[in-house]
Amino acid sequence: MSTRAYAAPSATEPLGPLTITRREPLATDVEIEILYCGVCHSDLHYARNEWGMTTFPIVPGHEILGRVTRVGAKVTKFKVGDTAAVGCLVDSCRTCSSCESDLEQFCLNGPVFSYGGPDKHSGGQTHGGYSEKIVCDEAFTLKVPSNLDPAAAAPLLCAGITTYSPLRKWGAGKGKKVGIVGLGGLGHMGVKFAHALGARTVLFTTSEGKVADGKRLGADEVVISKNAHAMAQHAGSFDLILDTVSADHDFNAYLALLKLDASMVVVGAPPTPQPVSVFSLLMPRRNLAGSLIGGIAETQEMLDFCGKHDLVCDIEIIRMQQINEAYERMLKSDVKYRFVIDMASLKG
Ligand code: NAP
Ligand code: ZN
Ligand code: ZN
């Protein structure tokens, strides 16, 4: 079916309107009228081909929330009128060891991402949430707790799960000192989750204007990372540091803040390699790791956790037509703290 969308035609042109085709819902599919879609920095990296893997035109968007408008004959989880959400994953092989361990994002046969992935139905590539509708298998469609504001819940589908998953895996909680690097879309949810999990939470930011917000969002302490003296005060003291930065920065400055056997987990994905001195890791024995979004079951667990703790994202709602300006503001770290597109604007 013909679907209105917004796409990047090439790495150097602004995003603009494009009509795409979505499949008619199959037996286990849910059709969702998209109400809100968050704007992730990955959308910008991808639209500008900064990771060198984009096929154009591309419709970005993987923080998708809307209303169910049709369901296939075998759908059991959803009915017409339900609120439903889709994140970064729309399919996987479902049989490999990763899929069987609820780690579809690491599917050994290749996870199918919401945009830029191989679309086994159309033969082309998948297109994301900057569009009026999406059709997704119910196995990859999430339920959103009814107490959460839908626009502010949308970014949980990427910014939420990408920070929740490593904080849980690396044991953020009571008695732990956890650092969050960067106060953007991911970082602000990292601060909220680390605080909600009971960890002593320290925010590292390059933006002096974000100190008060950092504390309001749940940080016990905020460190301006450009201040070497302030950084040195924390040497060797962290159990875990979660790095959400989208651009070049010095990993070694944060590794130096870890305790023996503690870990720095990188989720930010700057396009260029970041140099690491082995001495940052050797003395005392430290770990550097990465993490990618989260599996479907864990994404549902995160949404339910947010429902229970009344946690959503701090957002600024924009119209679809403002997306290019929003990208420029994101590059200047000028977003508080996630842009969310009101998809009704696509029609008018
Ligand atoms: P964002 O909203 O733009 O936030 C990034 C933050 O990084 C900024 O707000 C800024 O925080 C800090 N920053 C920016 N430039 C910097 C620089 N030159 N030096 C130091 N700090 C800088 O982006 P986002 O949507 O949170 O995404 C962050 C990164 O995570 C992106 O690279 C994205 O592709 C990646 N990502 C990864 C996954 C995954 O699964 N691993 C999932 C989603 C996104 P301050 O102003 O506080 O310094
Ligand atoms: Zn994302
Ligand atoms: Zn698999």
Task: Measure the CA–CA gap between 79 and 82, rounded to whole angstroms.
Answer: 6
Residue 206 Cα: closest atom of ligand 1: 48
How many angstroms is it from 88 CA to the middle of ligand 2? 7
Task: Measure the CA–CA gap between 91 and 137, rounded to whole angstroms.
Answer: 8
Q: Which amino acid is at 101?
A: S
Q: What domains are there in the chain, each with its CATH number?
A: 2-158+294-303+313-347 (3.90.180.10), 160-290 (3.40.50.720)
Whether 318 lines ligand 1, by a CB cut-off of 6 Å, is no
Whether 267 lines ligand 1, by a CB cut-off of 6 Å, is yes
Per-residue pLDDT at 315? 98
Per-run averaged pLDDT (10 residues), the chain, 348 residues: 97 98 98 98 98 98 98 98 98 98 98 97 95 98 98 98 98 98 98 98 98 98 98 98 98 98 98 97 97 98 98 98 98 97 92
Whether 333 lines ligand 1, by a CB cut-off of 6 Å, is yes
Whether 224 lines ligand 1, by a CB cut-off of 6 Å, is no
Per-residue pLDDT at 348? 72
Residue 266 Cα: closest atom of ligand 1: 41
Residue 248 Cα: closest atom of ligand 1: 18
Per-residue pLDDT at 133? 98
Whether 207 lines ligand 1, by a CB cut-off of 6 Å, is yes
Phi first, then psi, for residue 235 (nearest 5°) are: -55, 135
R_g (Cα) of the chain, nearest Å? 20
Number of neighbours of residue 61 by Cβ within 10 angstroms: 29
Residue with CA nearest ligand 1 atom 22:
245
Helix (H, G, I), strand (E, B) or coil at 112: strand
Q: Which amino acid is at 167?
A: L
Residue 338 Cα: closest atom of ligand 1: 2
Residue with CA nearest ligand 1 atom 46:
207
Per-residue pLDDT at 347? 85
